[in-house]
Amino acid sequence: MIETIYIENAFRCYMWQDKVISVVGLLFGFMLIPMVIDSLNGITVNIVSSSLTAIGLFIMAGCFWTMKLKLSFISNLITATMWTILFVIAIL
C-alpha cells in the first residue's frame, strides 16, 4: 500500500500555475541564446545587470522549490544559469 501511494504521488499532475510559470521561464531562457552568442563574439552585457538578475533568479528558483513547483524550479534554474554565463563572459 505504501508503494502504491508513492507511485501515485510521483506521477501526480502538476498545478496549472507551475506549467505556465515554467513555460514562460523557459521562453525567457531560450530568448537569451542569441545574447550569449553575441557575447561570445565580443558584445557584452552590463556586469551589474547580469549578476543581479542571475542572483534574483536563483533566489526565485529556491522559492519555487520550497513551494514544490518543480517545473518552475527547473525553468528558473536554466534561465539563471544563462544569466550566469552572460556574467562570466562579461568578466572575461
Chain centroid offset of residue 35 CA: 16
25 vs 57: CA distance, rounded Å:
10
User: What pTM value is reported for the model?
Assistant: 0.81
Task: Give domain limits for the chain.
Answer: 15-91
Which architecture does CATH list for 15-91?
Answer: Up-down Bundle (1.20)
Asked if residue 85 lies in contact with residue 36, where contact means CB atoms within 8 angstroms, the answer is yes
Residue 12 has pLDDT above 70, yes or no: no
Q: Which three cell numbers stand for residue 6?
A: 508513492
Reported confidence tier of residue 13, pLDDT bands at 50, 70, 90: low
Residue 14 has pLDDT above 90, yes or no: no
Q: Which three cell numbers stand for residue 88?
A: 562570466
Residue 86 has pLDDT above 70, yes or no: yes
54 vs 33: CA distance, rounded Å:
15
Residue 41 has pLDDT above 70, yes or no: yes
24 vs 46: CA distance, rounded Å:
23
Percentage of the chain beyond pLDDT 90 is 72
- Read off the pLDDT of each residue in 61-70 and give the average, rounded to a whole number: 94
